[in-house]
């Protein structure tokens, strides 16, 4: 396990993700960026694959990760194919870069029986509750970000997108494909989703 050498609103949830995949042997990180999450999850007991369409990200990921149980592939998730089935598939601030309905269906098809889909995602508020949560997290998020000297993905030249769906649309898509799943709002402008392939 290698801790990321910077902190931001995505790396803030790495510990949560590590806890969720502790029993997973095959993991797929979709939109792996610079490979910092893979490095954090790698404990030599898991086979971890990271995919990303950006070559510079893949280059950084390969430099950061030297474990024989880790591999990185430059590819869009839309065209990604694998005979392997994964115990956990992870999207960290990446699923909104693609057509979400397609991405969720594909992820479901790549999951093993009872496999877990994990999303640290971004969405626009759409209900009164969403807006209240958005307002309430501004101050603590800003203070903590300043204390921890936030280093954004843009600072690392990792491609970003702010073309976000409404939270109501996200919930509908997620619960249609993964009923009885869990979703909650995180402090740092992210929703956290945990769904099972049953």
The predicted model gives 163-168 an average pLDDT of 93
**Cα–Cα distances in angstroms (integers) from residue 75 to residues 68, 78, 79, 146, 191, in the given order:** 20, 8, 7, 35, 25
At 176 the pLDDT is: 95
At 179 the pLDDT is: 93
Which alpha helices (DSSP H) does the chain contain, by range? 14-20, 36-41, 55-64, 100-110, 128-136, 138-147, 167-177
Closest to 2 in 3D by CA, of 26, 35, 50: 35
Q: Residue 121: which H helix or E strand, with range?
A: strand 111-121
Q: How confident is the model at residue 8 (pLDDT cuts 50, 70, 90)?
A: very high
> Is residue 138 one of the residues assigned to a domain?
no
Domain that holds residue 63: 11-124+158-197
> Is residue 17 one of the residues assigned to a domain?
yes
- 125 close to 167: Cβ distance less than 8 angstroms: yes
Beta-bridge partner residues of 29 = 50, 90
Q: What is the pTM of this model?
A: 0.95
> Is residue 165 one of the residues assigned to a domain?
yes
> Is residue 141 one of the residues assigned to a domain?
no
> Is residue 44 one of the residues assigned to a domain?
yes
pLDDT in tens, 34-63: 999 999 999 999 999 999 999 999 999 999
At 123 the pLDDT is: 97
CATH number at residue 62: 3.40.50.150
Overall domain count for the chain: 1
Indicate the pairing of strand 182-185 with strand 191-196: antiparallel
The predicted model gives 177-185 an average pLDDT of 93
> Is residue 3 one of the residues assigned to a domain?
no
> Is residue 76 one of the residues assigned to a domain?
yes
> Is residue 112 one of the residues assigned to a domain?
yes
Please list, in sequence order, all residues whose beta carbon lies within 8 angstroms of the beta carbon of residue 25, skipping any fewer than 6 positions away.
45, 46, 47, 87
pLDDT in tens, 68-113: 999 999 999 999 999 999 999 999 999 999 999 999 999 999 999 9
Grouping H, G, I as helix, E, B as strand and the rest as coil, residue 88 is strand
Cα–Cα distance for residue pair 78/99, rounded to 1 Å: 9
């Amino acid at each position: 396990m290698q801790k990321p050498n910077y902190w931001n609103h995505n790396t803030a949830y790495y510990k949560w993700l590590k806890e969720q995949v502790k029993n997973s042997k095959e993991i797929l990180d979709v939109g792996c960026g610079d490979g910092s999450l893979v490095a954090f999850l790698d404990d030599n007991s898991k086979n971890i694959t990271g995919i990303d369409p950006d070559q510079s990200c893949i280059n950084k990921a390969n430099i950061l990760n030297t474990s024989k149980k880790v591999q990185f592939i430059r590819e869009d998730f839309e065209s990604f194919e694998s005979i392997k089935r994964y115990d956990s598939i992870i999207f960290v601030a990446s699923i909104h870069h693609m057509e979400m309905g397609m991405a969720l269906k594909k992820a479901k098809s790549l999951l093993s029986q009872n496999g877990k889909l994990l999303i640290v995602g971004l969405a626009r508020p759409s209900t009164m509750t969403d807006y209240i949560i958005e307002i309430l997290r501004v101050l603590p998020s800003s203070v903590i970000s300043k204390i921890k000297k936030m280093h954004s993905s843009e600072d690392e030249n990792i491609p970003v997108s702010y073309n976000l769906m409404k939270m109501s649309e996200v919930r509908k898509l997620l619960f249609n494909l993964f009923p009885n799943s869990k979703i909650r709002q995180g402090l740092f402008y992210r929703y956290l989703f945990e769904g099972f392939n049953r």
